[in-house]
Structure 1
C-alpha cells in the first residue's frame, strides 16, 4: 500500500539524505487520485536537477502502474542509477538536440523543468538557448501532449510585502538582468506553440523551494551558525517545501488550459528573513547579526489560485524551520547552490 503524506508521519528530524529524499517523495492522497485519473504516462524533462529527482520518485510512488520517464544530460554521477533503482526509466538527452528530443517517447504528460539561471555570465547565448530554443524544440515535439512548464516569480515586479503579493493578472515584466528576460521568452514560447497546436499547458511561476540542503532557510541558518551578517534588505521571501512543490507540479497535469496559462505556485504565507534568523539563533544558541536595512519591496507573489485548487501545502513553516535547523546544526550535506534571494540587481 502506498504511504500517504500527512502531518501524522512528520519526522522530528532527518537521519540522512536517503531519509530526507524518501520523505520528500511521499505523495498526498490528492497526488495519488489525480495521477491515477490521468490518461497516459509521464515524462519529466530536466529530471536531474534539485527538484526533479524526488518529483519523479513521487510520481512513481503515486502511480506505480504508469511509466515515469526521466530525461536529463545526467551530468551528476549516480543520479541516473538512483532513478532506475526506483523504477523510473531514464534517457540521457540534450534538449537542444532536436533529433534527440524528437526521438523521445511521446507520452501524454510532460513536465518541463530544464533551464539555466545562475552562473551564466560570459555564456548569455547559452542562457537564452536553454530558456527559449529548448522550449521551442520541446513544444513542437510534444504538441499532442499536456505540458506543465517550470517558470519563476522573477518575471514579476517587486512589490510591498504588506500588499498581498503579485497575482497572475500582472503581465511578466522585462526586469534587469538577462535571466528574468529569458524566462519571459520561455513562457511566451510555450504559449505560442500551445496556441498554434492547441496543446494544453500550464506555466508554473514558482516561489523559492527549500529542503534542508538548499534554499533560503538553509542559507540564513548557515549565516547565523557561522556568525556571518544576515542581509535583510530583501526583508521577506515566499518559501515552499520541495515535497509540496512536487505535488502541485504533478497535480497540475490535470488542470492544463489552452493556450497555456500562468499560475503562481507557493505557500499561503511569507516569512520574514529577520524572524528566520532569530529562530535559527535560538536553535544554535547564538545571537544573529544583521546587515543592511529592510527595503519597502521584495519579490512577493500571491498563490491563492493554486492553493484554491489543491488546498494549502502540507508542510508548514514551523516544521521547515525545525528540520533545517537540525540539518545545519549537524553539518549535514548541502547542494552548495545558493538561491541568491537577497540579490536585488537581477544579475545572478
Structure 2
C-alpha cells in the first residue's frame, strides 16, 4: 500500500464542522490492516468525549475499506444525544452505560479489541473522590471484564511531570513523577491495566498523549481564543508539544497491534518543542490581532519525546504551521469552540 498524502497537501482548511469531522475521521496508513487483524468487533469505552466520536468514525471507515463487517461499538453515557445519533447514522453501534456503575459490566458486549478512552480531568479539584473512582476504580472493573482482550488504553504525559527545557521531552523509559491528584490517578489507571497485562496476559498498550489539537479544542485553539478575546496569553508554561488529532487517532487505533504482556508504553505528540510565545505570535499574525503576554517563562515544562511513535507510524500528516493557520482561520471566523479549555498553563497539577 502507498502511504496517504499529507492532509496539508490533500485538503484546504475545513470551513464547516462537517468538513472538520470528515478530516479528523480520515484513516491514516495502516489503520485498517491493524483493526482487521483483530478478527472481530471493536469496543470503544468512553466514546462520547472529545476524541471518541471521530476515532469511532475513523475505525468504521478503516474497516469498511478493508471489506470487514466487524462492528464498531461506542459506549458512553451520551450526554449529547445528537452525537449518538450521528454516530449511528455512520454505521456505528452505540451502547448507553455508566461505567462508574459496577452493575453494568455484565451487560457490556464482548469484543476482539478494546479501546479505553474514559477519564476525568477537569473539575478534579474538590472532587478528588470522583477523580480516583473514574481514573483508577473504573479501569479495574474494565480490565477484569475484558481479561485477555487486546487493549489500547489512553493515558497522559502528565504522569511524567515537568522536565527541564534543556533535557527535552520524557521518553517511555523515564521514571514517572506525577504532580497533583489528576496525574497520580492516571498513573493508577496505568498500573491497574498493567496488572491485567502482567497477571492475566491481556495484550496492552498504554498510549500517553500530550497534546491532541483540532480547531475547536486544544492548546492552539485555547491560545487563539485568548487572543480573540483580547486577553493576555500566559507563558508561564513556556513550551508544549502538540499534534493534529487525526494523526493521534490513527496512531492510537494502530497501536493496539503493539499490545503485550507486560504492557507496552507509547508516547504520542508532535515532534516540535514549540514555545507558547511562538504559537501565540503566529496565531496573532494570521488573525490580524495584537497579542499581549503575561507571566514569565519557567525553566521547565510538560514535554514528551514521541520519536518511537514516529519511527513506527511516521511523522504527522499536518504540520505545526498548517495546524496553526487552520486554527487561526477557524477561530478568527467565529466558528464554534467546544468550550473545554485544556488548562495547559497549569503547573501544579490542579485541574
* Fold shared per TM-score above 0.5: yes
Please state if 1:119 is matched with 2:123.
yes
Give, in whole Å, the separation in 2 of the partners of 1:215 and 1:345: 19
| CA deviation profile, 1:146-174 (whole Å, cap 9, x unmatched) | 11101101111211223221111112224
**TM-score, with length taken from structure 1:** 0.95
Residue pair 1:5, 1:27 contacting (<8 A) in 2 also: no
1:11 matched to which residue of 2? 11
Unpaired stretches in structure 1, ≥5 consecutive residues? none
Q: Which of residues 292, 299, 303 is equivalent to 2:302?
A: 299
Residue pair 1:6, 1:28 contacting (<8 A) in 2 also: no
How far apart are residue 263 of structure 1 and its match? 1.6
Residue pair 2:25, 2:55 contacting (<8 A) in 1 also: yes
Unpaired stretches in structure 2, ≥5 consecutive residues? none
Residue pair 2:158, 2:178 contacting (<8 A) in 1 also: no
| CA deviation profile, 1:64-95 (whole Å, cap 9, x unmatched) | 22210000011123111111000000000111
Give, in whole Å, the separation in 1 of the partners of 2:80 and 2:57: 17
Give, in whole Å, the separation in 1 of the partners of 2:151 and 2:175: 21
Deviates more, 1:316-325 or 1:218-227: 218-227
Residue pair 1:234, 1:295 contacting (<8 A) in 2 also: yes
User: Where in structure 2 are the equivalents of 1:1-348 lying within 5 Å?
Assistant: 6-7=6-7, 10-64=10-64, 65=68, 66-175=70-179, 177-348=180-351
Deviates more, 1:280-289 or 1:61-70: 280-289
RMSD: 1.5
Deviates more, 1:308-317 or 1:8-17: 8-17
| CA deviation profile, 1:251-307 (whole Å, cap 9, x unmatched) | 011111112132211122222111111111111222311111111000011111111
| CA deviation profile, 1:37-65 (whole Å, cap 9, x unmatched) | 33222110000000000000000000022
Residue pair 1:204, 1:263 contacting (<8 A) in 2 also: yes
How far apart are residue 8 of structure 1 and its match? 6.6
- Pairs aligned (count): 345
Residue pair 2:34, 2:254 contacting (<8 A) in 1 also: yes
**TM-score, with length taken from structure 2:** 0.95
